[in-house]
């Protein structure tokens, strides 16, 4: 079977490749101080104060992969024979040669999406910034895209998802961000060009391998080219693979890698990504762009996009924005803001950073609701406090159903977060880290994807923040004996502060004693919040 790119993607499928922005005549990057190099970003960047003050954001990680309500990366995994997603898809919707992922786009109507009601919940829970996904690895643009016909103005909800969020968020005085995941679409989608290696439909290619623009005549996608969505067969497996294990090995060795380089044989994809990213920041002027990439996407093109965005933001509002990337080198953390996906920092970092995580799966999974195993509010707050004490922010995803709504368990979690924030917000927002982040027996391993190995926090795990002359101390669990013991504040420690008053946020002043070994505070019976008590410490020598 001929799966060459030439046979699948027509000429003119994408916009011309943007030249290096720093030298483009009249280009945005040329008009500002930043150039597309790490040296330029590192030398000129400073994290804006709004981000350092905000501490907590909520992420609408919502798209057509939420329609099956079966969890994350549905689009890729539904094409992997033997995978639970494949088995669910075949049983529920049919074989992926006949019912491919693109059909979910048509099913995605978002008819129960009420952004104002969601923002009421998010704002009450303390969110100071809200991030809208602009596209995922499935390569559908969720905005009024001028350079990609597969967008939500034309298909699916037939509305500007990003633009709707942007207007509603800014009307409330909150900061607005977008997330761009599309740089990985070219390799992520390669499973859609495969076939079953075993069973009654052995060798029958999935929908991406056979559909072209002409097949859409008379359908909901008439006039669209599926190859622009699925990106073309860069790593399409050859005919004749004879087992599921062999097929999986084929994909694991090729497109199963997290590839950050541009595809050498698909310049049309790179042209499209560059044009769409520029369109995104020009139309919506976000305060933040989250790139789902190690470093920056697509080599020099990510550098160009970031330099252009920095310069453009200086022109729009006279301030620098935030750009997120992952697994940065130490120097790179000064040029963009590192985000640690579903992981921790094991130290107080000199540069502001972010943890991004989710109370469930990144895309809605109904089993989380029916089984009631979302991450509870107490764990979210423990995580927030740990992150903020280490000079970071928390970006939290609340998964939305395919119809745009959230379920009752998620609402309850947001309500519990809001109750805690109403009492303890002053110890979080506009604070800065203290000399040390805290103390305690529970160690975390720094880096991404460490949540599953984390041990429960204890009442002996203490975290600090500071604002003005006040030092805040959190116990990450309520102590069973009613006493918070803070050994870092013992009078025998170097540069020990002298504590003169201790207040329980939401409560009253508390009895305490400061010995050579520790500060010991008696909480009493009053619990103004259900979890993670916060203390305001006043005295001498408390500043950083």
Nearest C-alpha neighbor of 175 from the set 356, 292, 320, 78? 320
Residue 2 neighbours by CB under 8 Å, 6+ apart:
none
Distance CA 214, CA 211 (A): 8
Q: Are 432 and 466 in contact (CB under 8 A)?
A: yes
The values of phi and psi at residue 193, to 5°, are -95, 5
Cα separation, 400 vs 534, whole angstroms: 31
Per-residue pLDDT reduced to its tens digit, 321-370: 999 999 999 999 999 999 999 999 999 999 999 999 999 999 999 999 99
- What was the pLDDT predicted at 452? 87
Q: Is the pLDDT of residue 27 over 50?
A: no
**Torsion-angle region of 448 (φ positive above 0: left; ψ -120 to 50: alpha; else: beta):** beta
Q: What is the pLDDT of residues 194-207, one digit of tens each?
A: 999 999 999 999 99
Average pLDDT, the chain: 94
Q: What is the pLDDT, as a whole number, of residue 15?
A: 30
Label the pairing between strands 462-467 and 470-475.
Answer: antiparallel
- Conformational region of residue 509, where left means phi above 0, alpha means psi within -120 to 50, and beta covers everything else: beta
CB 207 within 8 A of CB 221: no
Cβ within 8 Å of residue 294, ≥6 positions away: 258, 260, 325, 326, 327
| 336 close to 353: Cβ distance less than 8 angstroms | no
Would you give the DSSP letter of residue 469? T
Cβ atoms of 497 and 489 within 8 Å: the answer is yes
Domains and CATH numbers, the chain: 5-422 (3.20.20.80), 438-540 (2.60.40.1180)
Rounded to two decimals, the pTM is: 0.94
pLDDT value of residue 544: 81
The whole-angstrom separation of Cα 6 and Cα 417 is 53
Give 520-532 pLDDT, tens digit per residue: 999 988 899 999 9
205 DSSP 8-state letter:
B
φ/ψ region of 413 (left if φ > 0, alpha if ψ in -120 to 50, else beta) reads alpha
For 248-309, the DSSP string reads HHHHHHTTTS---SPPTT-HHHHHHHHHHHHHHHHHH--SEEEEEEESSTTTHHHHHHHHHH
Q: Tell me: the pLDDT tens digits for 401-419?
A: 999 999 999 999 999 999 9
In the predicted model, is pLDDT for residue 41 greater than 70? yes
For 88-141, the pLDDT digits (tens) are: 999 999 999 999 999 999 999 999 999 999 999 999 999 999 999 999 999 999
Question: Residues of the chain with pLDDT > 70: what percent?
Answer: 94
């Amino acid at each position: 079977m001929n799966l060459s790119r030439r046979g699948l993607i027509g000429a003119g499928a994408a916009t011309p490749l943007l030249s290096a922005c720093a030298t483009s005549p009249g280009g945005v990057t040329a008009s500002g101080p930043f150039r597309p190099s790490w040296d330029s970003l590192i030398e000129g960047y400073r994290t804006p104060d709004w981000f350092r003050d905000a501490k907590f954001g909520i992420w609408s990680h919502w798209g057509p992969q939420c329609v099956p309500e079966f969890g994350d990366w549905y689009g890729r995994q539904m094409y992997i024979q033997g995978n639970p997603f494949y088995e669910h898809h075949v049983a529920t919707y049919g074989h992926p040669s006949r019912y491919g992922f693109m059909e979910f786009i048509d099913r995605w109507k978002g008819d129960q999406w009420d952004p104002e009601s969601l923002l009421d919940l998010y704002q009450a829970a303390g969110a100071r910034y809200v991030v809208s996904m602009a596209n995922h690895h499935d390569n559908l643009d969720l905005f009024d895209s001028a350079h990609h016909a597969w967008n939500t103005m034309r298909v699916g909800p037939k509305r500007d998802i990003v633009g709707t969020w942007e207007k509603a968020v800014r009307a409330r005085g909150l900061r607005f961000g977008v997330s761009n995941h599309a740089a990985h679409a070219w390799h992520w989608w390669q499973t859609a060009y495969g076939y079953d290696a075993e069973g009654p439909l052995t060798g029958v290619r999935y929908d991406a391998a056979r559909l072209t623009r002409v097949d859409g005549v008379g359908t909901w996608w008439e006039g669209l080219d599926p190859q622009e969505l699925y990106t073309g067969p860069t790593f399409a497996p050859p005919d004749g693979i004879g087992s599921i294990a062999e097929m999986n090995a084929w994909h694991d060795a090729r497109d199963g890698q997290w590839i950050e380089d541009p595809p050498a044989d698909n310049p049309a994809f790179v042209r499209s990504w560059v044009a769409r990213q520029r369109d995104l920041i020009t139309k919506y002027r976000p305060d933040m762009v989250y790139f789902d990439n190690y470093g920056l996407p697509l080599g020099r093109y990510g550098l160009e996009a970031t330099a252009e965005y920095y310069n453009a933001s200086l022109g729009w509002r006279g301030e620098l924005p935030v750009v997120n990337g992952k697994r940065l080198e130490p120097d790179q953390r000064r040029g963009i803001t590192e985000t640690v996906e579903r992981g921790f920092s094991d130290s107080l970092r000199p540069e502001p950073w972010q943890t991004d995580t989710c109370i469930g799966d990144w895309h809605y999974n109904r089993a989380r609701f029916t089984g009631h195993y979302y991450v509870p509010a107490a764990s979210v707050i423990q995580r927030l406090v740990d992150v903020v004490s280490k000079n970071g922010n928390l970006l939290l995803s609340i998964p939305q159903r395919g119809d745009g709504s959230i379920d009752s368990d998620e609402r309850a979690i947001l309500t519990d977060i809001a109750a805690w924030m109403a009492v303890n917000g002053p110890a979080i927002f506009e604070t800065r880290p203290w000399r040390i982040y805290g103390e305690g027996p529970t160690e975390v391993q720094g880096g991404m994807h460490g949540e599953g190995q984390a041990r429960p926090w204890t009442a002996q795990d203490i975290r600090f923040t500071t604002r003005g002359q006040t030092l805040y101390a959190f116990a990450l669990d309520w102590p069973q004996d009613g006493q918070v013991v803070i050994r870092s504040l013992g009078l025998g420690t170097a540069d020990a502060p002298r504590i003169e008053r201790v207040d329980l946020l939401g409560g009253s002043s508390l009895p305490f004693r400061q010995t050579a070994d520790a500060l010991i505070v008696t909480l009493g019976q009053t619990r103004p919040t259900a979890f993670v008590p916060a203390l305001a410490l006043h005295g001498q020598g408390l500043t950083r």
